[in-house]
Chain A
């Protein structure tokens, strides 16, 4: 039954552009983008249990890398792929610097990465346009065709992220990351090369947001630092994964769709206060549904209170 539903959902996502209007197409493109972001975060946050707040940094870096490359005349798909690679390489280097930190220290160190990149982007006016933002070349095709193009681009990224997750979950890497999540010191004792595994997880968690950022930049044609390094881009994927079940394969996708559906139907209508309402939802989610909607996915590690350590 579940398998049948999944196949139906897959077919629907493939044929959707032919049947849906532009509004639905835009909404589903956003959903696919956030699915990819949530799946990306799931590698480091769900599997390895490292509370990363760097998704916005990777997204913004991808957006700016893609945008700048395109304004320098690189064709769009090449710019996207290169941008994703840049984000992944950046994460691999960053991982060597901050992945030895644990707990709070890691969380905050990853949180400030976006702040630093934002400031660098703001200051490098020659390349990025600074606070004025960056205009991307407009595609010489019709609006509907554009919408379909970006839909399929996001679909490919999300589908790749999903299959990578499925692979990782069955592979040594996923097994090692779960060990790290449960008890990192024990994993080291058992001979898991934790540093390499964590760097791999962080790299994967940057690759997909980087790609998404680059596609997003082409999609909206204009990016500025406050928009693409927004801290909510780090937080929303976390909430989605918590909602759907951390460390699971399909959980992040469920979470992303459900979250955006709620956003679209409920709190988007409260324009003045929609971020505040999001805050209320986050609080309720943490207090009342810490295991996510599917229950079993999120292994709630209750440490003994005395030995809480970063």
Chain B
């Protein structure tokens, strides 16, 4: 019975992980930029949800679209002002740039929010559901549902909308897309904005489930990367599978080896996977 409980915990966690990673995967896939800022953007979303709940009494679940909109604007501007200047440069250059931006954002957050851990405590608490011996807290269940819905929404956007098709077109062949009249610079900015919006939305959900602090940003970035590699880069369903896999693996490894080894285990797995199956679980190499 314990194993089923751990599996459920893992899947609930994994749902949130998918939402955390999907924006990162989108930016990496389309812009070919590793967005070191991603972890900090998630935390920024968490903090905005925290303060909205604390001072304005807005429910964090209702705040999700607001956080997404705020972070979209921020991401759009960051891409347009900074990252756009180094598009197509060697990896080291784009990586160092986003690293510098992250250093700045992270330290601003430390300065403004302090490094203390804070948590949204919903009142009244939502309680939990008992299914036989398996217990699921309702707030976590709603977070997972929201997270998976967000991932689904992004998938629908990329598949169905004009802008989504343009993003996919730029990803497949930038020059051809340009020749077809797609404004690539604008698509890049929108893509980065969408990535940031997903980070903000995931951050709001994150603040319901976990204590938040700027310190958590790097761990979240690492998880996003592992998920992208697990699921295979650049496909939304892949990210969802990667997220659920990582959540499950983390739960079981915490059960067997103790939670202090969770990072080591997920990264060891990552390196093994990169050695033997670099295309991810889905096995389809994305357009790179």
Please list the residues of chain A having a beta carbon within 8 angstroms of any beta carbon in chain B.
45, 49, 51, 97-98, 100-101, 103-105, 107-109, 112, 115-116, 119-120, 122-123, 231, 235, 238-239, 242, 272-273, 275-276, 278-283, 285-287, 290, 300-306, 308-310
With an 8 Å Cβ cutoff, the count of chain B residues facing the other chain is: 46
Closest 8 A/B residue pairs (Cβ): A282-B100, A279-B103, A276-B107, A279-B104, A283-B100, A51-B92, A305-B88, A286-B97
| B residues 98-115 in Cβ contact with A at 8 Å | 99-108, 111
> Known contacts A51-B92, A108-B34, A282-B96; is A305 also within 8 Å of B174 by CB?
yes
Closest B residue to A281 by CB, please name it.
Answer: B100
Closest B residue to A305 by CB, please name it.
Answer: B88
Interface membership of B54, Cβ < 8 A: no
Q: Known pairs A105-B278, A109-B274, A290-B93. 19 more at Cβ < 8 A?
A: A104-B28, A104-B32, A107-B91, A107-B92, A107-B95, A119-B264, A122-B260, A123-B261, A276-B104, A276-B107, A278-B100, A278-B103, A282-B96, A282-B97, A283-B101, A286-B93, A300-B89, A306-B175, A310-B91
Q: How far is the CA of A64 from the CA of B274 in the complex (A)?
A: 28
CB-based contact A279/B107 at 8 Å: yes
Q: How far is the CA of A278 from the CA of B108 in the complex (A)?
A: 12
Interface membership of B116, Cβ < 8 A: no
A interface: dominant SS: helix
**Which residues on the B side are within 8 Å of A109 (C-beta)?**
270-271, 274
**Which residues on the A side are within 8 Å of B128 (C-beta)?**
none
**Which residues on the B side are within 8 Å of A303 (C-beta)?**
88, 90
CB-based contact A119/B103 at 8 Å: no
Q: How far is the CA of A104 from the CA of B35 in the complex (A)?
A: 11
> Known contacts A104-B91, A300-B89; is A273 also within 8 Å of B107 by CB?
yes
Query: Which residue of the partner chain, among A119, A275, A280, A304, contacts B260 with CB atoms under 8 Å?
Result: A119
Closest A residue to B173 by CB, please name it.
Answer: A306
CB-based contact A242/B267 at 8 Å: no
**Which residues on the B side are within 8 Å of A97 (C-beta)?**
271, 275
Selected A-B contacts with CB under 8 Å, 29 pairs: A49-B92, A51-B95, A101-B278, A107-B91, A107-B92, A107-B95, A108-B34, A109-B274, A112-B271, A123-B261, A231-B218, A239-B96, A276-B104, A278-B100, A279-B104, A280-B100, A283-B82, A283-B104, A285-B100, A286-B93, A287-B82, A290-B89, A300-B90, A302-B88, A303-B88, A304-B88, A305-B88, A308-B288, A310-B32
